[in-house]
């Protein structure tokens, strides 16, 4: 059985398969990989869904419905599909007020369009371009953001004269069950060379990786 390298976003996993059919591990949350899996399948690439991240409410999420309902905003700027999902949830809680919404790009706009049609999308899907091209030169802007997002958008808008209020409405976390649970999922997906630490921590992972590399070296020896 030949070892098949599986690569996604710079990470490499080792699978086992009779033929060298390409495989890709997709690591977003369950239910958010469908489009990618479909497109890869058209190219004859098999995908395995093995989430490594999950989203959680940020520290400012509870403030968002009131801010949408009670305060006046020239723009609400939304910079990712996940930010769109959190925003729409709060928008419904606020009673669906009329708002001017700007989306950073096509994917984010599509996530909004079932409920709200964005009134502006920049020429390039980046926070820097959105900050440079957002119509107007003053007024209040609400930025419901990831807690891990950079300050590029708010800094750029502030330099143009906008008053920016940033609310960290969600964050991205590593899944809590990396270890035996993920190993079992990998085994069900057809992998045979699976290693994970019995106890979490750097030392455990180092030992597991060392064991894995040693096993690969032995298996590849003529």
> What pLDDT, in 10s, does the model give residues 9-19?
333 344 444 44
Three-class secondary structure of residue 184 per DSSP: helix
Facing residues of 66 across strands? none
Q: What is the pLDDT of residue 41?
A: 83
> Contact 148/22 with Cβ under 8 angstroms?
no
Q: What is the pLDDT of residue 206?
A: 62
Q: What is the pLDDT of residue 8?
A: 37
Q: What is the pLDDT of residue 161?
A: 96
End-to-end CA distance of the chain: 13
> Contact 61/169 with Cβ under 8 angstroms?
yes
The residue written with tokens 């959190």 in the block is 86
pTM for this model (two decimals): 0.66
Q: Choose among 63, 44, 115, 109: nearest CA to 83.
A: 109
> What pLDDT, in 10s, does the model give residues 185-211?
667 766 666 666 676 565 666 676 567
> What pLDDT, in 10s, does the model give residues 7-66?
333 333 444 444 455 677 777 766 677 787 888 888 787 877 777 777 789 999 999 999
Burial class (CB in 10 A: 0-12, 13-18, 19+), 86: buried
């Amino acid at each position: 059985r030949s070892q098949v390298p599986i690569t996604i976003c710079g990470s490499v996993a080792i699978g086992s398969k009779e033929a060298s059919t390409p495989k890709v591990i997709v690591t977003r949350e369950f239910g958010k990989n469908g489009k990618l899996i479909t497109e890869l399948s058209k190219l004859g690439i098999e995908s395995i869904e093995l989430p490594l991240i999950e989203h959680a409410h940020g520290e400012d999420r509870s403030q968002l419905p009131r801010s949408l309902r009670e305060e006046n905003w020239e723009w609400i700027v939304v910079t990712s599909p996940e930010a769109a999902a959190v925003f729409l949830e709060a928008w419904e809680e606020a009673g669906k007020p009329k708002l001017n919404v700007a989306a950073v790009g096509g994917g984010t706009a599509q996530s909004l369009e079932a409920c709200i049609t964005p009134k502006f999308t920049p020429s390039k899907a980046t926070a820097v371009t959105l900050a440079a091209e957002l119509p107007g030169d003053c007024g209040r802007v609400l930025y419901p953001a990831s807690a891990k997002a950079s300050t590029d958008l708010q800094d750029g808008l502030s330099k143009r004269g906008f008053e920016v209020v940033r609310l960290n409405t969600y964050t991205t976390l590593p899944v809590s069950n990396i270890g035996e649970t993920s190993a079992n999922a990998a085994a069900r997906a057809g992998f045979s060379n699976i290693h994970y630490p019995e106890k979490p921590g750097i030392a455990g992972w180092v030992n597991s990786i060392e064991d894995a590399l040693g096993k690969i070296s032995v298996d590849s020896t003529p």
